[in-house]
């Protein structure tokens, strides 16, 4: 019998995180839109590395922030824009330059499947207000302009064809087509963006059309929800759950409600006792940054290490790709997705469907950490030895027989006082993370 949610916080609080999201562990975030045309941002910091003040916002590494970065009227993006497009070139003109002429959604979905992802989250409307779906509330959308396609619908169909879950991102409180005072600090961002009741209704109406048209498995709201629309939320969220019973929402509704909490790069905190999700770009940006240098893009080994440490601590990893305006995925991003998929094909038994172990992760050095997961009565020991070709670690309190999941891993396991010593002589193809099943 399908549960019916009332539009009250009490009823919503009965919603449980669905098994598919607990089991899925790995998703692909996609930031694609008008900002993918200029595809420019300075390569400065990861979010959380420096305070979110004027220095961050006028040197914003997020290429999807291009509109605000030029709107502040100074800084690297402003200088780039004047030099490349001219002082009078309006951001809105990118709407007719974005053609997505090489886009093949089925190809994208096949790549995400090969990457071992279980779900996908696509931007439907980022802070610039341009919609990737035929919204009935604005013509500033990809059906009327640029690609002249229902990007959201076409990708949703392709993703579901590959039996992956489709999630939708919506920029709830920031929409520069309603209010575009330059943003130079978090106060502007989280509290005073788009301050009208008209915008609150707009956000509510667009969210309803996204739910009714696409029934997304994830409703990923960003930054916050219009304060003038907070009283709409219980109805919106109960409508969402009554439409998508095993749907999930994140914690970016002004901390009023969530299924899972979020971290972004170095920003935010997570606790093992509740479900959380880590999101980040491959480099310092979510939107494609054509200027990005290889040294700023996460290594394959560090991406897998992040997945392992996130999952072992009760999280999911939502790893972003920033496609080019023409619809192709940059090779350096594709390479990382395929390598993660390769690692998961060999070691995924310790990841998919696993649960957080009562054993906390152990940090021996900055390079050597051991994580634990549990699944179907088995304990998995995941030895992460960043950058080392061999390692020997003693894990206390373990006993029994440990088998490497990767047959190419050459390791010796010996019982020592009250624990097991793992001597890994060769990590095989497992990118310096060797996984053992303890029977």
Ligand X SMILES: C[C@@H]1N[C@H](CNC(=O)c2cc3ccccc3[nH]2)[C@@H](O)[C@H](O)[C@@H]1O
Binding site for ligand X (CB under 6 A): 62, 64-65, 222-223, 252, 262-264, 267-268, 279, 286
User: Tokens 């600090």, residue?
Assistant: 185
* 124 or 357: CB nearest ligand X: 124
Q: For the CB of residue 276, give the shortest distance to ligand X in the complex, in Å.
A: 10
Distance of closest approach, residue 355 Cβ to ligand X, in angstroms = 24
Are the CB atoms for 62 and 352 separated by under 8 Å? no
Nearer to ligand X, 65 or 436 (CB): 65
Comparing CB distances to ligand X, the nearer of 173 and 424 is: 173
- Pick 150 or 222: Cβ nearer ligand X: 222
Distance, in Å, from the CA atom of 109 to the CA atom of 112, rounded to the nearest integer, reads 5
- Nearest CA to 185 out of 325, 280, 56 is that of 56
What would the two tokens of residue 45 be?
């910091």
Min dist. Cβ of residue 169 to ligand X (A): 7
Q: How far from 125 is each of 86, 168, 309, CA to CA, in Å? A: 26, 9, 31
Question: Exposed/middle/buried for 4, CB within 10 Å: 0-12, 13-18, 19+?
Answer: exposed
- Any idea which residue has 């609080």 for tokens? 13
Q: Which residue has the tokens 């992040």?
A: 306
69 vs 347 by CB, closer to ligand X: 69
Here the tokens at position 131 are 């919609």
Contact in structure between 383 and 391 (CB atoms under 8 Å) = yes
Closest CB to ligand X among 68 and 369?
68
**Token output for 262:** 């979020």
């Amino acid at each position: 019998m399908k549960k019916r949610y009332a539009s009250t916080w009490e009823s919503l609080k009965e919603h449980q995180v669905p098994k598919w999201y607990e089991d899925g562990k790995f998703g692909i975030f996609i930031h694609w839109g008008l900002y993918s045309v200029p595809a420019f941002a300075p390569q400065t910091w990861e979010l959380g590395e420096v305070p979110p003040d004027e220095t961050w916002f006028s040197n914003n590494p997020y290429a999807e922030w291009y509109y605000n970065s030029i709107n502040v009227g100074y800084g690297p993006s402003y200088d780039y824009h004047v030099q490349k497009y001219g002082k009078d070139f309006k951001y809105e003109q990118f709407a007719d330059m974005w053609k997505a002429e090489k886009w093949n959604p089925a190809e994208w979905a096949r790549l995400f499947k090969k990457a071992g992802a279980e779900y996908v989250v696509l931007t439907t409307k980022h802070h610039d207000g341009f919609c990737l779906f035929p919204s009935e509330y604005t013509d500033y959308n990809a059906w009327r302009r640029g690609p002249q396609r229902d990007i959201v619908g076409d990708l949703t169909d392709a993703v579901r064809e590959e039996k992956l879950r489709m999630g939708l991102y919506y920029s709830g409180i920031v929409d520069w087509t309603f209010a575009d005072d330059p943003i130079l600090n978090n106060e502007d961002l989280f509290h005073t963006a788009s301050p009208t009741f008209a915008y609150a209704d707009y956000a509510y109406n667009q969210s309803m059309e996204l739910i009714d048209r696409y029934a997304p498995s994830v409703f990923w709201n960003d930054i916050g929800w219009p304060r003038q629309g907070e009283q709409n939320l219980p109805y919106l969220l109960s409508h969402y759950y009554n439409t998508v019973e095993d749907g999930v929402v994140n914690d970016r509704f002004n901390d009023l409600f969530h299924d899972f909490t979020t971290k972004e790069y170095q920003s935010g905190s997570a606790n093992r006792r509740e479900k959380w999700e880590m999101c980040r770009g491959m480099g310092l940006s979510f939107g494609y940054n054509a200027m990005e240098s290889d040294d700023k893009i996460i290594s394959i080994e560090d991406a897998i290490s992040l997945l392992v440490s996130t999952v072992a601590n009760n999280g999911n990893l939502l790893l972003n790709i920033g496609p080019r305006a023409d619809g192709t995925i940059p090779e350096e991003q594709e390479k990382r997705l395929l390598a993660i998929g390769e690692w998961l094909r060999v070691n995924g038994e310790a990841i998919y469907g696993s649960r957080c172990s009562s054993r906390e992760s152990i940090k021996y050095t900055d390079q050597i950490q051991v994580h634990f997961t549990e699944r179907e009565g088995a304990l998995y020991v995941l030895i992460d030895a960043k950058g080392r070709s061999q390692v020997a670690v003693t894990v206390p309190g373990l006993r029994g027989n440990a088998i490497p999941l990767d047959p190419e891993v050459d390791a010796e396991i010996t019982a020592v006082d009250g624990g097991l010593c793992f001597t890994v002589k060769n990590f095989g193809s497992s990118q310096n993370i060797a996984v053992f099943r303890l029977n």
